[in-house]
């Protein structure tokens, strides 16, 4: 039998249309979980309420092994039928939405709209619904399925929750599946090198205001940005500097004393990531030399590049599953939870559940219809791992 | 301890008292009860989907506490009925129920017709405009009816009068409750002041009580229910349940003025029928408000008539459907 032949996987794929139909029958439970969990604010570092609600949902479904660990992660175990492996399903519990934003969701027959619905309330809702779904389709996994709602994942959280669990958890993960609300077809198996940080420019209180109009924190930051833009990046390995957010200033006519840039360096090469970071540090020093402004560089999150190869049985099986639901797999690298698995040399992938629009806006929206295929794809992948289709020999 | 204090102690619940839905379903089945959820609607397309999804998922699929979820609509011009139907609710136009009877418009009309249309021994009414809908809005009201046979009517409220801290804070209803209903109850029916939010749109009632009370079709329906049930059964027939926070759009003061006018009509009519107020004069039905147009004040007239439906058990079709004459 060649590595491309796998009768177990073939039979799982044959079941996909039926699985999609069964997933459609689970619409209410997933949407109910989505509304209840998504309407519970969960900004990074303040995930307790959402985690507590998730644990209640797990307990109501009869899961006995549920807990909250020292990092605040929400955990539950679906016991296997004697298998020794632990298949870990992870969704990050935090969102970028502040508590003060109105978290009301609207459900129409076509879509669900509300802040953070795609990133990643849907992922958490799928996690919450999974024990119910597996029970309804009468699937009893051979191996243990460990459900993890990771805290302190985004921004300055830097995957703290999942990293803690992987370093200290009693159940060593054999495989990892990261669940993201968006987009269906997403298949990440590699993490790129990443450094994330803030550059903050400040003008001192005693600034010489006679230089009226010629200077401000914004102008200083602009100089920094221009210099970062001038950094020459090679075509290979692929590298980029993403300038994600800028803030500063209060009105039309006030000189700005504070401005901040949030940026991320991404590269397939760890060496190059470091080189770009060194160059940015040099720029911040250069811009402030001889001036009274201060420019601070704060790098607070890092990812090492890595992951499993395209030919790994986990990637190969999942690719076939995604193709079989009629979706083109999109093999984009990830900087999310996947990186924590990679750091621990655990084979892992990231999957998206559905499509949507207005990602990041307060009226972020997900489509309901593609969700059925997204759920079927996830369950088929669990079955493939559980059935031994993803072992590397 | 006064009757009011004793009633509050014994008949006031928090929805979390009924967290054990499995037990509640077992008790319901043992008693052979059926329960219907009625969502009266008029242009609620933005909130109705979530309400139906949550109640179906939690209180039908997972815990079969509800036997039916029905939307009774006053003639929405948006997609309210389409959305509700897509998520599996039974949908009805109020005008299509008992079509031979002269048509009337109003929330009370939908509630009244639901008694004919729905099959439950208990009917739970939940407004369709709640933004933070949760299954507690239904099971928190059903609980006392399942565990206390003597309770007939359970009212929802949205505050926690008994806080754990030592700080005393006022507790009560909305603006109309505090400046109209509560003063009126204090004057004429002091015991009813124990009901923290007499005007809340969330309540669960036994069919045998619903079928024997009249229904104003407009703003006065909740007030008239309280007066009629109190008159027939006394305070002991009521219970109330804290449903925590309820988020909905606030009405303007001008709209509340119209509401207060309707409630006052119903209240005075009931008082006259009970012989508490002695007058033969018919009340005015025109409510006047004013608005400034340039340098002049213009009167705006609203004709608010609190029309009323008789007890459902006086309707021949209902008596036939439920075999009341057998």
pLDDT by residue, tens only, chain A of 393 residues: 666 678 899 999 999 999 999 999 999 999 999 999 999 999 999 999 999 999 999 998 888 799 999 999 999 999 999 999 999 999 999 999 999 999 999 999 999 999 999 999 999 999 999 999 999 999 999 999 999 999 999 988 999 999 999 999 888 999 999 999 999 999 999 998 899 999 999 987 665 555 554 578 898 899 999 999 999 998 889 999 999 999 999 888 888 889 999 999 999 898 999 999 999 999 999 888 766 778 999 999 888 889 999 999 999 999 999 999 999 999 988 888 999 999 999 999 999 999 999 988 889 999 999 999 999 999 999 999 999 999 887
Q: How far apart are CA B248 and CA B201, in angstroms?
A: 12
Look at residues A303, A328, A354 and tell me which one is the last residue of a structural domain.
A303
- The CATH number covering residue A151 comes to 3.40.630.10
The pLDDT of residue B244: 86
Tally C-beta pairs within 8 A across A and B.
Answer: 46
Q: A131 in a domain, yes or no? A: yes
Q: What is the mean pLDDT of residues B98-126?
A: 94
Looking at the fold, whether A157 and A77 belong to one and the same domain comes out as yes
Tell me: the pLDDT tens digits for A104-132?
A: 999 999 999 999 999 999 999 999 999 99
Residue B40 has pLDDT above 70, yes or no: yes
pLDDT interval class at B162 (50, 70, 90): very low
For B13, which DSSP code?
Answer: E
Chain A closest-CA separation from residue B200 CA (Å): 21
Chain B closest-CA separation from residue A105 CA (Å): 8
Q: How far apart are CA A389 and CA A316, in angstroms?
A: 10
> Long-range pairs for A7-11 at CB < 8 Å and ≥24 separation?
A8/A384, A8/A387, A8/A388, A8/A389, A9/A317, A9/A320, A9/A384, A9/A387, A9/A389
Looking at the fold, whether A115 and A165 belong to one and the same domain comes out as yes
- The CATH number covering residue A238 comes to 3.30.70.360
Q: Under a CB-based contact definition with an 8 Å cutoff, are residues A90 and A176 in contact?
A: yes
> Pairing relation of β-strands A111-113 and A106-107?
antiparallel
Q: How far apart are CA B59 and CA B54, in angstroms?
A: 8
The pLDDT of residue B166: 47
Out of B50, B82, B87, the one facing A105 most closely (by C-beta) is B50
Domains of chain B: 3-166+190-249+310-321 (3.90.550.10)
Instruction: Write the burial class of residue A302 (CB in 10 Å: 0-12 exposed, 13-18 middle, 19+ buried).
Output: middle
In chain A, the number of structural domains is 2
Q: How far apart are CA B265 and CA B286, in angstroms?
A: 11
Looking at the fold, whether A185 and A242 belong to one and the same domain comes out as no
Q: A31 in a domain, yes or no? A: yes
**A109 touching chain B per CB within 8 A:** yes
Chain B residues whose C-beta sits inside 8 Å of any chain A C-beta: 45-47, 49-50, 53-54, 56-58, 61-62, 79, 82-83, 86-88, 131-134, 247
Q: What is the mean pLDDT of residues B153-182?
A: 71
Residue B163 has pLDDT above 50, yes or no: no
Looking at the fold, whether A168 and A313 belong to one and the same domain comes out as yes
Tell me: the pLDDT tens digits for B185-243?
A: 999 999 999 999 999 999 999 999 999 999 999 889 999 999 999 999 999 999 999 99
Q: A2 in a domain, yes or no? A: no
User: E strand or H helix at B238, and its extent?
Assistant: strand B238-242
Residue corresponding to tokens 């926690």: B160
Contacts of A105 in chain B (CB under 8 A): 50
**A107 touching chain B per CB within 8 A:** yes
Looking at the fold, whether A334 and A268 belong to one and the same domain comes out as no
Residue B175 has pLDDT above 90, yes or no: no
Q: Which two tokens stand for residue B324?
A: 């009341």
Q: A98 in a domain, yes or no? A: yes
Looking at the fold, whether A289 and A199 belong to one and the same domain comes out as yes
Q: Do B57 and A108 touch (CB under 8 A)?
A: no
Q: Which two tokens stand for residue B31?
A: 């008693």
Q: How far apart are CA A150 and CA A338, in angstroms?
A: 12
Q: Do B61 and A105 touch (CB under 8 A)?
A: no
Least confident residue range of B95-104, B161-170, B240-249: B161-170
User: Could you tell me the residue range of the domain that residue A74 belongs to?
Assistant: 7-191+305-386
Q: A391 in a domain, yes or no? A: no
Q: What is the mean pLDDT of residues B113-135?
A: 94
Q: Cα dist. B269→B105, B195, B219, B220, B233 in Å?
A: 20, 21, 14, 10, 20
Looking at the fold, whether A32 and A140 belong to one and the same domain comes out as yes
3-state secondary structure at position B37: strand
Look at residues A253, A286, A303 and tell me which one is the last residue of a structural domain.
A303
Q: Cα dist. B211→A7, A57, B309, B313 in Å?
A: 64, 38, 11, 5
Of A96, A119, A92, nearest to A181 (Cα)? A119
Q: A94 in a domain, yes or no? A: yes
Look at residues A246, A270, A303 and tell me which one is the last residue of a structural domain.
A303
Looking at the fold, whether A178 and A47 belong to one and the same domain comes out as yes
Mean pLDDT of chain B: 91
Q: A74 in a domain, yes or no? A: yes
Looking at the fold, whether A108 and A209 belong to one and the same domain comes out as no
Out of A31, A39, A104, the one facing B53 most closely (by C-beta) is A31
The pLDDT of residue B13: 96
Chain A closest-CA separation from residue B325 CA (Å): 41
Looking at the fold, whether A325 and A270 belong to one and the same domain comes out as no
Looking at the fold, whether A291 and A313 belong to one and the same domain comes out as no
Looking at the fold, whether A184 and A197 belong to one and the same domain comes out as no
Q: A37 in a domain, yes or no? A: yes
**A28 touching chain B per CB within 8 A:** yes
Q: Do A108 and B247 touch (CB under 8 A)?
A: no
Tell me: the pLDDT tens digits for B256-282?
A: 999 999 999 999 999 998 888 887 778
CA torsion angle for A164, A169, A172, A175 (degrees, to 10)?
-50
Q: How far apart are CA A159 and CA A154, in angstroms?
A: 7
List of E strands, chain A = 66-68, 74-78, 86-92, 106-107, 111-113, 144-150, 175-182, 187-188, 190-191, 193-202, 239-248, 258-267, 294-303, 306-307, 348-354, 356-357, 365-367
Q: Under a CB-based contact definition with an 8 Å cutoff, are residues A156 and A196 in contact?
A: no
């Amino acid at each position: 039998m060649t590595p491309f032949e796998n009768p177990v996987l073939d039979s799982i794929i044959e079941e996909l249309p039926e699985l999609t139909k069964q997933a459609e029958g689970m619409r209410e439970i997933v949407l109910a979980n989505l509304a209840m969990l998504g309407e519970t604010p969960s900004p990074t570092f303040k995930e307790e309420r959402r985690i507590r609600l998730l644990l209640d949902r797990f307990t109501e479904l009869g899961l006995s092994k549920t807990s909250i660990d020292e990092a605040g992660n929400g955990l539950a175990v679906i016991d296997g039928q004697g298998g020794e492996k632990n298949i870990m399903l992870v969704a990050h519990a935090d969102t970028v939405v502040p508590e003060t934003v109105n978290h009301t969701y609207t459900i129409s027959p076509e879509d669900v709209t509300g802040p953070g619905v795609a990133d990643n309330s849907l992922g958490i809702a799928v996690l919450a619904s999974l024990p119910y779904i597996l029970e309804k389709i009468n699937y009893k996994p051979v191996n243990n399925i460990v459900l993890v709602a990771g805290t302190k994942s985004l921004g300055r959280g830097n995957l703290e929750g999942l990293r803690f669990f992987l370093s200290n958890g009693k159940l060593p993960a054999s495989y990892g599946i990261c669940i993201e609300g968006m987009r269906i077809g997403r298949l990440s198996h590699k993490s790129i090198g990443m450094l994330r940080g803030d550059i903050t420019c400040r003008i001192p209180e005693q600034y010489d205001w006679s230089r009226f109009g010629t200077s401000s924190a914004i102008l200083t930051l602009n100089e920094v940005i221009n210099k970062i833009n001038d950094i020459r990046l090679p075509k290979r390995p692929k590298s980029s500097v993403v300038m994600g957010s800028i803030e500063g200033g209060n009105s039309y006519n006030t000189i700005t004393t504070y401005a901040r840039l949030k940026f991320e360096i991404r590269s397939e090469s760890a060496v190059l990531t470091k080189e770009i970071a060194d160059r940015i540090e040099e720029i911040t020093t250069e811009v402030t030399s001889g001036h009274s402004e201060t420019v601070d560089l704060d790098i607070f999150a890092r990812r090492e590049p890595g992951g499993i190869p395209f030919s790994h049985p986990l990637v190969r099986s999942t690719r076939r599953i995604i193709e079989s639901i009629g979706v083109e797999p999109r093999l984009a690298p990830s900087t999310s939870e996947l990186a924590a698995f990679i750091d621990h040399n655990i084979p892992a992938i990231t999957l998206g559940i559905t499509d949507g629009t207005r990602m990041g806006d307060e009226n972020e929206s997900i489509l309901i219809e593609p969700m059925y295929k997204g759920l079927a794809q996830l369950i088929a992948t669990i079955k493939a791992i559980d059935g031994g289709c993803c072992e590397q020999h | 301890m006064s009757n009011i204090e004793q009633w509050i102690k014994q008949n006031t619940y928090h929805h979390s008292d009924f967290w054990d839905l499995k037990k509640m379903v077992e008790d319901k089945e043992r008693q052979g009860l059926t329960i219907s959820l009625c969502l009266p609607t008029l242009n609620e397309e933005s909130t109705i989907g979530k309400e139906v999804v949550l109640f179906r998922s939690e209180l039908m699929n997972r815990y079969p506490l509800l036997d039916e979820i029905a939307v009774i609509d006053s003639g929405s011009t948006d997609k309210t009925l389409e959305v509700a139907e897509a998520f599996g609710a039974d949908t009805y136009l109020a005008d299509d129920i008992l079509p031979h009877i002269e048509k009337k418009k109003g929330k009370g009309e939908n509630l009244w017709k639901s008694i004919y249309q729905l099959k439950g021994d208990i009917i739970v009414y939940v407004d369709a405009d709640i933004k933070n809908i949760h299954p507690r809005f239904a099971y928190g009201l059903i609980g006392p009816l399942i565990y206390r046979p003597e309770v007939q009517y359970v009212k929802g409220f949205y505050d926690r009068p008994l806080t754990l801290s030592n700080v005393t804070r006022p507790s009560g209803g909305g603006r109309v409750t505090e400046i109209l209903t509560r003063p009126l109850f204090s004057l004429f029916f002091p015991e009813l002041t124990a009901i923290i939010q007499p005007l809340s749109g969330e309540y669960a009632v036994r069919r045998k009580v619903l079928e024997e009370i009249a229904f104003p079709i407009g703003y006065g329906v909740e007030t008239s229910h309280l007066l009629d049930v109190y008159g027939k059964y006394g305070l002991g027939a009521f219970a109330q349940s804290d449903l925590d926070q309820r988020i909905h759009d606030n009405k303007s003061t001008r709209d509340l003025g119209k509401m207060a006018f309707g409630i006052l009509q119903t209240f005075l009519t009931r008082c006259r029928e009970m012989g508490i107020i002695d007058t033969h004069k018919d009340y005015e039905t025109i409510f006047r408000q004013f608005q400034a147009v340039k340098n002049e004040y213009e009167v705006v007239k609203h004709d608010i008539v609190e029309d009323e439906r008789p007890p459902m058990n006086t309707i021949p079709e209902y008596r036939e459907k439920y075999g009341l004459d057998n």
